[in-house]
């Protein structure tokens, strides 16, 4: 069993929960501690198989979105990053890529999502980023999508 300890209100814990839930991995949570993940008696191959569904189609070509997610986590109020995301996603919509790296969600989407979805608490309206708002809807409709206080699922 995988166990995840961490504050249920933190972006970091939420990111890991989203990753595990979208990968379809079962886990238990312990609230209010420092972020820590343990996997007792878990078969590595099983977890790897589940997580590889969230791998990008091309690590090399999609690499920039991993670096991007780290930048966004470090600077969650930098609106220039929101503009970059919105532009990339708008062209993605027109070119058959509803997610950051193509037609399925990857760790890059999960990496960016908490900062985007919590931006309004940080004083950043998402109104100027329409494609980003639609991408949020797409993620919120995925099977296994995880909620946290203030973030809801959407009906199909």
Partner 1 sequence: MTSHWFPVASGDDLAPRHVFHTALHGQELALWRDDAGLANAWENRCPHRGVRLTMGANLGTELRCQYHGWRFSSGSGQCAAIPANPDLTPSQGLRVRTYRCVERYGLVWATLGDAPEDIADLGEAPWRPLRALFVEAPLAVIAPHLPQQAGLALFLQPVAESTTVIHGLSADASLSLRQHDEALTRLRDRIEGGAP
Binding footprint of partner 1 on the chain (CB under 8 A):
87, 90-91, 93-94, 126-128, 130, 133-134, 137, 152, 154-155
Q: How many CB atoms lie within 10 A of CB 82?
A: 22
Nearest CB to partner 1, comparing residues 38 and 120: 120
Q: Is the dihedral of CA 121, 145, 106, 91 positive or negative?
A: negative
Burial class from Cβ neighbours inside 10 Å (0-12, 13-18, 19+) for residue 106 reads: buried
Min dist. Cβ of residue 38 to partner 1 (A): 35
Q: Which is nearer to partner 1, 44 or 127 (CB)?
A: 127
State the minimum distance, in angstroms, from the CB of residue 127 to partner 1. 5
| DSSP SS3 for 124 | coil
Using the minimum distance from each CB to partner 1, give the nearer residue, 59 or 152. Answer: 152
Q: Report the residue number, 41 or 149, with the smaller CB distance to partner 1.
A: 149
E strand map for 11-60: 27-31, 36-39
Q: State the nearest-atom distance from the C-beta of 140 to partner 1, in Å.
A: 10
Instruction: Report, in Å, the least distance between residue 137 CB and partner 1.
Output: 6
Pairing of strands 27-31, 36-39: unpaired
């Amino acid at each position: 069993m995988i166990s995840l300890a961490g504050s249920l209100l933190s972006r970091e814990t939420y990111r890991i929960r989203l990753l595990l839930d979208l990968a379809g991995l079962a886990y238990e949570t312990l609230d209010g501690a420092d972020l820590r993940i343990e996997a007792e008696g878990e078969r590595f191959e099983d977890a790897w198989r589940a997580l590889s569904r969230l791998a990008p189609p091309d690590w090399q070509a999609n690499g920039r979105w991993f670096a991007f997610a780290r930048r966004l986590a470090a600077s969650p109020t930098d609106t220039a990053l929101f503009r970059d995301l919105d532009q990339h996603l708008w062209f993605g919509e027109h070119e058959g890529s509803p997610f950051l790296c193509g037609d399925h969600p990857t760790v890059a989407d999960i990496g960016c999502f908490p900062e985007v979805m919590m931006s309004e608490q940080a004083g950043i309206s998402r109104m100027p980023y329409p494609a980003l708002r639609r991408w949020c809807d797409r993620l919120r409709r995925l099977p296994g999508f995880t909620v946290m206080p203030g973030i809801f699922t959407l009906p199909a």
